[in-house]
Amino acid sequence: MTARPRVAVFKMASCDGCQLQLLDAEDALLELAGRIEIVHFAEASSDMRPGPYDVTLVEGSVSTPEQERQVREIREASRVLVTIGACATAGGIQALRNATGRHEEFVRTVYPTPEYVRSLEDSHPIADYVPVDLELTGCPIDRDELLHAIATLLAGGTPRVPKDPVCVECKRRGIVCVVVAKGEPCLGPVTRTGCGALCPAFGRGCYGCFGPAQAPGNADALGRRFVELGLRPEEAADRFRFITGWAPAFREASERLRTGAGAGEEVDAG
């Protein structure tokens, strides 16, 4: 890297929440800013300079032809490309439209002048278009995990991202299992930790914000458990097709539930 690494932050289709996690770091961000040169960050400054970039963070999914072109240009200009958040790593909420065949209908319903809207039929994560060096999941990402990753990259190291499921975090914190105690469908057994088991701590099931954990094969068994808890197969499928529903493990589990082809071993929370 250069003596003072050049860092850029870009946004595709997203809510800006992951960029706000970086801005909300406050003192930690100021300390970091003293070691780097932030040359492109539209959320924080109008001073936006071209590449090359040493480390580039990209939030959001690719949802328009312009974004597809832009993300390829960003990749060309970046030594290290890091995608941040559920949209950038798994398509996000925007990917709910994928495979519905109703893209044009959605555009006509939402926008008063749909003829001005240019969007892709599907919304995809960044890695579907260009090579990605590191993915940080979450909706939003974990602030400490992001700062650790940036600091490690700047030091020339490889960040370590936890792969344990949320259930492990529940055990660490002594949180009562909502599936066992309340019969509440929860994606915790197949979702990567990173949120501190926020939803189970408040007595409700995990949404799957941080995407599939290290043993995604468990998703089929968990889907069957959801049906045993009283959900219809299509309702169980919908639990997997939410914030990170375009991630392959969740998408495939959802499709198998909808077609009645679910299979797999007994669910293992880790």
For the chain, 270 residues long, the average pLDDT of each consecutive 10-residue run is 83 94 86 86 91 96 96 97 97 91 90 92 96 96 92 90 92 95 94 94 95 80 94 94 93 91 49
Q: Which helix (H) or strand (E) holds 109?
A: helix 103-110
Q: What is the total count of domains within the chain?
A: 2
Is 264 within the bounds of a domain? no
Residues 44 and 72 in one domain: yes
pLDDT at 40: 94
pLDDT at 265: 43
Which of 87, 119, 154 lies at the terminal end of a domain, its last residue? Answer: 154
Q: 116 is in which domain, residue-wise? A: 6-154
Give dist(CA 1, CA 153) in Å, integer: 10
Which of 108, 129, 154 lies at the terminal end of a domain, its last residue? Answer: 154
Q: How far is CA 182 from CA 177, 195, 229, in A?
A: 8, 21, 10
Residues 119 and 14 in one domain: yes
Residues 106 and 195 in one domain: no
Give dist(CA 126, CA 67) in Å, integer: 10
Q: What is the CATH number of the domain that holds 59?
A: 3.40.50.700
Residues 68 and 179 in one domain: no
Residues 146 and 19 in one domain: yes
Is 58 within the bounds of a domain? yes
Give dist(CA 189, CA 182) in Å, integer: 16
Residues 111 and 132 in one domain: yes
Is 269 within the bounds of a domain? no
pLDDT at 251: 93
11: nearest Cα among 66, 77, 51: 66
Residues 110 and 28 in one domain: yes
